Amino acid sequence: MDGVISSGIIEHVIPYTDITVSRVIFSLALLVAGLVLVKLLVRIFRRGIEKTKLPALTTQFLGHFLKIILYVVVVLIFLKSLGFDVDSYVVGLSAVIGLVLGLGMQDTFTNIAAGVWVAAIRPVDTGEMVTVNGQTGKVKSVGIMSTELLTPDNQLITIPNKLVWGSSIVNMTRMPTRRASVDVGISYNSDLEKAVKIALDLMKGYPPVLQDPEPSVVTTELANSSVNLQLRAWAKTGDLMAVKNYLTAGIFEAYRREGIEIPFPQMDIYIKESKETRKEIMEIQTANSGIRAYE
C-alpha cells in the first residue's frame, strides 16, 4: 500500500505544468551531478595544463573560461531534462541576443578579448607590483572580465580588462634590478666635494647596493636655499625599498655627524616703514602699554 502511494506521489504532475515529480527529482539529480562533474573536469584540466610551460596567469584564465562554458552547458541540460524546448528558446531569442551583443554586451566582449590578450602577452603577471590606469598594487588575478590588484595597505582594486589593455602599464617588479634615487639638499656654505664623498662611501658600504652599475651622486639643482644632490644606487628589485630606506636615514645621520648642513626652507621678511606706518605702530604700542598698565 505504501509503495503504491509513494509511486503515485512520484508520478504526480505539478499543478499548472506537465512536469512530474519524478522528472523534477531526476533533473535536480542531473544538475547536482553536472555541477560536481564540472568541478572535477576543471580540476583535471588545470592539473593537465599546469604540466605545460604556460604561465600561471594563462592557466588561471583558461580555467575560469572553461568553468563558465561548462556551467552554461549544465544549465541547458537541466532545462532540457525538465522538458523545456531549449532549442526553440535559443532560436527565438537569437535576435535579442544579437541586439544585446551589439549594445549591452559590447563592453563585456571587449573585456573578454582584452583579458585574452593580457593572459597571452602577459604585460602583468600574478604577484607583480604594477601601476595600471593610475592604480598601484600587486596583481592578484586576471579574470575573464577584470584584473584584481591588491594594494600595499590590503585594499582590493578591480579594473576592467579593457582599461588594463588600453592604458599604460608600469611594471615595477618585472626587471631583476632597479635604481634607488634619494634626494638631499646641502647648504651653500657646505663643502660639496666632501658631501659627495660621504654619500658615495655610504652607498658603497651597504652590501645590498650593487657595484655594477656603480653608485653615483649628481647635482640636480641650485635651489633657493640649498644645493640639491641625488644619490643613485642600483639594487636587486626585492631589495629596492630596503636600500632606499637605508640611504634616506643614513645620509641624514652621516651629514649631521660630519657637519654637512641640511638646510630647511626659510624666508626673511623686510618691512619698510613710512611715516604713517611708524605712527600707527606707536599708537598700537601706546595702547598696549596702557592696557598693561591698567591691568
User: Cβ distance 140 to 134 under 8 Å?
Assistant: no
The whole-model pTM stands at 0.60
For 85, phi and psi rounded to 5 degrees? -85, 85
pLDDT below 50 — which residues of the chain? 1-6, 291-295
**Same fold flag, 18-105 and 177-258:** no
Domain chopping of the chain, boundaries = 18-105, 124-171, 177-258
Q: Which CATH class is domain 177-258?
A: alpha beta
CA dihedral 159→160→165→168, nearest 10 degrees, is -30
For 30, phi and psi rounded to 5 degrees? -65, -40
3-state SS string for the chain: CHHHHHHHHHCCECCCCCCEHHHHHHHHHHHHHHHHHHHHHHHHHHHHHHCCCCCHHHHHHHHHHHHHHHHHHHHHHHHHHCCCCHHHHHHHCHHHHHHHHHCCCHHHHHHHHHHHHHHHHCCCCCCCEEEECCEEEEEEEECCCEEEEECCCCCEEEEEHHHHHCCCEEECCCCCEEEEEEEEEECCCCCHHHHHHHHHHHHHCCCCECCCCCCEEEEEEECCCCEEEEEEEEEEHHHHHHHHHHHHHHHHHHHHHHCCCCCCCCCCCCCCCCHHHHHHHHHHHHHHHHHHHHC
What is the CB neighbour count within 10 angstroms for residue 230?
15
Which cell goes with 221? 639643482
pLDDT on residue 292: 45
What fold does the segment set 124-171 form as a domain?
SH3 type barrels. (2.30.30)
Provide the CATH number for the domain formed by 18-105 in this structure: 1.10.287
Between CA 97 and CA 79 the distance in angstroms is: 19
Cα–Cα nearest to 112, from 52, 42, 164, 50 = 164
Query: What would the pLDDT profile of 129-157 be if each residue is shown by its tens digit?
Result: 999 999 999 999 888 889 999 999 999 99
Which residues, 6 or more positions from 142, have their beta carbon under 8 angstroms from its beta carbon?
Answer: 57, 60, 61, 115, 118, 119, 124, 126, 148, 161, 164
